[in-house]
C-alpha cells in the first residue's frame, strides 16, 4: 500500500480474484473489449475473507 494514497480509485477483478488496485487511469489501461465496467459512484469497497482457516494443536488432542 502506498502511504501517500491510502485509498484507491479503481480495481480490476477477474472471476473471484482482485488483479490490481490503483488509479482510474492505471486500471483503465487494463480495459479490454469484453470488460464490464461498474461505476460505484464513490462508494467504499472492502474485500471479504472467503477461505479463512485456523489450525490449533489442541484440536488434535482427544
Residues 3-55 pLDDT 10s: 887 888 999 999 888 899 999 999 999 999 999 999 999 898 887 766 666 77
Residue 2 within a domain: no
Per-residue confidence (pLDDT) for residue 59, from 0 to 100: 64
Q: Residue 45's closest CA among 9, 15, 20?
A: 9
Q: Residue 38's closest CA among 18, 21, 13?
A: 13
Number of structural domains in the chain: 1
What's this model's pTM, rounded to 2 decimal places?
A: 0.63
Residue 38 within a domain: yes
Q: Residue 8's closest CA among 36, 44, 41?
A: 44
Residue 42 within a domain: yes
Per-residue confidence (pLDDT) for residue 62, from 0 to 100: 57
Q: Which residue range forms the structural domain that includes residue 50?
A: 10-60
Residue 3 within a domain: no
Residue 15 within a domain: yes
Per-residue confidence (pLDDT) for residue 58, from 0 to 100: 67
Calculated CA dihedral for residues 36, 34, 50, 40, nearest 10 degrees: -10
Per-residue confidence (pLDDT) for residue 61, from 0 to 100: 62
43 burial (CB, 10 Å; 0-12 / 13-18 / 19+) is exposed
Amino acid at each position: 500500500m502506498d502511504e501517500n494514497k491510502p485509498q484507491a480509485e479503481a480495481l480490476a477483478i477477474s472471476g473471484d480474484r482482485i488483479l490490481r488496485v490503483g488509479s482510474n487511469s492505471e486500471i483503465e489501461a487494463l480495459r479490454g473489449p469484453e470488460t464490464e465496467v461498474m461505476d460505484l459512484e464513490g462508494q467504499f469497497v472492502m474485500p471479504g475473507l472467503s477461505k479463512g482457516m485456523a489450525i490449533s494443536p489442541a484440536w488434535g488432542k482427544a
